[in-house]
Amino acid sequence: MIGSPVLRTNLRSGGKRLWAAGAAVVISVAFVVTALILLGSFNRTMEAQAVADAEGADLVVNAEALTWAQNAAEEAGTSETSSGDRPDQQLADAISELDAVAEAEALSFVFLQGESSGVDSMLLAGDLPETRTMDVAEGSLPEQDDQILLVTDFAEANNLGVGDTMQVATERFNAESGNVEEGSAELTVSGLASGYHRTVSGYVSSEGLESLDADQTPTSLRVAMTGEDHGDTQAQEELQQQIADVVAAMIDNGELPTDTGSDDDAAQIFTQPDGSLVVAGVDIRTQQQIIDAWVADLTGQSTALLSIGLGFGAIAVFVASLVISNTFQVLVASRSRTMALLRAVGATAGQLRRATVAEGALLGVGGGVLGVLLGWSAAVGIATVAQRFWLESFSSAQLSVLAVVTGLLLGVAVTVLAAVMPALKAGRTSPMEALRPVEISAGPKRIPWVRTVLGVLLAAGGLGGVLLSALIHSRCWVPQVPSSDSLGFCSWAGSWFHVPLPSWGSSLPECRV
């Protein structure tokens, strides 16, 4: 098909007009490719963070269900356990008894309202986990009850350093009076912890957490195994079963609260699709399972991100298809005499149709390749900016097979589809038109400078908007949030809002070819 004289003619005479359509393809493909590559970076970042957070624990037991069950039981007045006992603590003690277990710790956090530097900031402070090796960037672990190890990101966002003190307000719900009692405390920053911390922004010792006059919210139990079993998947799965049995036995004996009350099946052990075990709402996961679960949890958010990205991508693609279709219609119209001549001297209608579609396909391949390269470059740039201004551990942009294949397929699909109608029109050209006495047209046409300059300016403006918003948003929004993930997404969405602009900017002036 490349050798077809019709296609060759088309490509030579298409020239300048094809550049405009090509640019539309490049930009829309680049847009989608950037979105896909950044999504990959995002997911790798999430995965790395989940791995870092799960490190040191062979199994993680979700204790939230126990707390809800106990609260429900207390409200219903059917509590068999005294309210002073924490069920997750009891479970941790029971698990510790198992042979393979080196340590089982029940973690919880308290909610604190900070008042540092005149900026209100929320602070979730948790138990210092003994099963996780803290990467202390500066200072030391909290040894006194009033010391706190802050997560570096939080400390930087609030201008706190080692040795600084922070006034925090605490709240405790008094079940008897039904009132919330407010208190306060002064904490000294003992050190800064680098790396990713999933739930909390700071750590205090268990004693320190007790001494704070605040409600503790149990989160999970981290279980570390002994000796050679530590980190061994098979051993983890065996222990997982044992722990499930322990939970089931304790529920049967009434040692743990359940939501289901006196239901006989309350202590039944279920296996979930990912291999994790559930007893009465208590999830028991091995290290890999908990990593996968966290990643899936976070990816749910990035799926929303993807929808936004692809939504704008779809708009860019739609606009591109209009531009391309318009370009091809104009091309076919301007070539009607040449087409008629070709028909007269022996080109079949099918040859003219195929040549027009092939012209589109070539444009799609070329635009797709350039679009993938441009999208890749943009993703690398954005990832670099993200690492610098938002999240140091943000994973670098890597070109993925998915992004390349999607980009190329999209480029070809859009151009071929946009070329179909004009191609049908080209095929309908009557050879008789070649006989009309009309002067041959002059040489190449003049380049429409004004339009070109305008298009470039608009494109540059749009691109500038992208970078500006990426910079501004990543700087201003994120630091105010303790656990920066969710709003961090917004800054990305914010920057992506601007991305369609270059495509509109460069394509709109071309609509009136």
Partner 1 sequence: MSGTARVRSVETMTTLAKTTVQAAVRAEALTKTYGAGNAAVRPLQNLTVSFPAGRFTAVMGPSGSGKSTLMHVLAGLDTPDGGDITLATDRGPISLTGLTEKQLTRVRRDSIGFIFQAYNLIPAMTAEENIVLPSSLGGRAQVDKTFFRHVVDRLGLTDRLHHRPFELSGGQQQRVAVARALVARPSVVFADEPTGNLDQASGAEVLDLLRTAVDEFGQTVIMVTHDAAAAAVADSTVLLADGRVVQTREEPSAEELAAAMLHAGSVVGAPAAGQATDGGVS
Among 431, 448, 465, 494, binds partner 1 (CB under 8 A): 431
* Residue number with CB closer to partner 1 (153 or 359): 359
Least gap, CB of 365 to partner 1 (angstroms): 21
Among 439, 446, 449, 512, binds partner 1 (CB under 8 A): 439
Least gap, CB of 359 to partner 1 (angstroms): 12
CB neighbour list of residue 309: distance below 8 Å, 6 or more residues apart: 32, 35, 38, 39, 496
* Residue number with CB closer to partner 1 (351 or 491): 351
- Report DSSP letters for 413-457, one per residue: HHHHHHHHHHHHHHHT--GGGGGS--PPP-SSPPP-HHHHHHHHH
Secondary structure element (H or E) that encloses residue 277, with its range? strand 277-279
Among 174, 401, 436, 446, binds partner 1 (CB under 8 A): 436
Least gap, CB of 9 to partner 1 (angstroms): 5
* Residue number with CB closer to partner 1 (5 or 461): 5
Among 76, 401, 442, 450, binds partner 1 (CB under 8 A): 442
Least gap, CB of 413 to partner 1 (angstroms): 27
Q: Are 150 and 202 in contact (CB under 8 A)?
A: yes
Note whether 445 binds partner 1 by CB under 8 A.
Answer: no
* Residue number with CB closer to partner 1 (77 or 443): 443
Note whether 17 binds partner 1 by CB under 8 A.
Answer: no
- What is the distance between the alpha carbons of residues 290 and 461, in angstroms, rounded to a whole number? 45
Note whether 437 binds partner 1 by CB under 8 A.
Answer: yes
* Residue number with CB closer to partner 1 (347 or 410): 347
Number of alpha carbons in the 13 Å side-chain half-sphere of residue 37: 29
Using the structure block, give the residue that is written with the tokens 């339009």. Answer: 451
Note whether 446 binds partner 1 by CB under 8 A.
Answer: no
- Report DSSP letters for 239-263, one per residue: HHHHHHHHHHHHHHTTSS--TTTT-
Q: Decide: helix, strand or coil at residue 142.
A: coil
Tokens of 113: 């309202």
Least gap, CB of 370 to partner 1 (angstroms): 24
Q: Interface mask (CB under 8 A) for partner 1, residues 477-506, using x and -?
A: ------------------------------
Note whether 423 binds partner 1 by CB under 8 A.
Answer: no
Secondary structure element (H or E) that encloses residue 284, with its range? strand 282-286
| Radius of gyration from C-alpha coordinates of the chain | 32
The phi, psi pair for 31, rounded to 5°, reads -60, -50
402-198-284 Cα angle (round to 5)? 90
Using the structure block, give the residue that is written with the tokens 């052990």. Answer: 269
Least gap, CB of 335 to partner 1 (angstroms): 9
> In DSSP terms, which residues pair with 271 in a beta bridge?
277
Query: Taking contact as CB under 8 A, which single stretch among the options 299-307, 312-320, 376-384, 429-437 is the one that binds partner 1?
Result: 429-437
* Residue number with CB closer to partner 1 (184 or 348): 348
- Residues 465-488, buried b or exposed e (16+ Cβ, 10 A)? bbeebbbebbeebbbebbbbbeeb
Query: Taking contact as CB under 8 A, which single stretch among the options 5-13, 144-152, 183-191, 483-491 is the one that binds partner 1?
Result: 5-13
406-407-412 Cα angle (round to 5)? 100
Query: Taking contact as CB under 8 A, which single stretch among the options 168-176, 388-396, 399-407, 438-446 is the one that binds partner 1?
Result: 438-446
Total of residues contacting partner 1 (CB under 8 A) = 31
Least gap, CB of 360 to partner 1 (angstroms): 18
* Residue number with CB closer to partner 1 (351 or 495): 351
Note whether 281 binds partner 1 by CB under 8 A.
Answer: no
* Residue number with CB closer to partner 1 (5 or 464): 5
For residue 47, give Cα distances in angstroms to 286, 395, 490. 15, 10, 20
* Residue number with CB closer to partner 1 (438 or 450): 438
For the chain, the farthest-separated pair of C-alpha atoms sits apart, in whole angstroms, at 104
Least gap, CB of 21 to partner 1 (angstroms): 18
Note whether 435 binds partner 1 by CB under 8 A.
Answer: yes
Which parts of 336-355 interact with partner 1 (CB under 8 A)? 338, 341-351
* Residue number with CB closer to partner 1 (29 or 434): 434
Least gap, CB of 412 to partner 1 (angstroms): 24
Least gap, CB of 446 to partner 1 (angstroms): 14
Kindly give the residue spans of alpha helices, DSSP state H, lying in 256-348. 287-334, 336-344
Least gap, CB of 345 to partner 1 (angstroms): 5
Least gap, CB of 333 to partner 1 (angstroms): 15
Least gap, CB of 416 to partner 1 (angstroms): 22
- Report DSSP letters for 8-53, one per residue: HHHHHHHHHHHHHHHHHHHHHHHHHHHHHHHHHHHHHHHHHHHHHH
For residue 57, give Cα distances in angstroms to 243, 260, 455. 14, 29, 56
CB neighbour list of residue 330: distance below 8 Å, 6 or more residues apart: 17, 513
Note whether 194 binds partner 1 by CB under 8 A.
Answer: no
Residues that bind partner 1 (CB under 8 A): 5-6, 8-10, 12-13, 338, 341-351, 431-432, 434-443
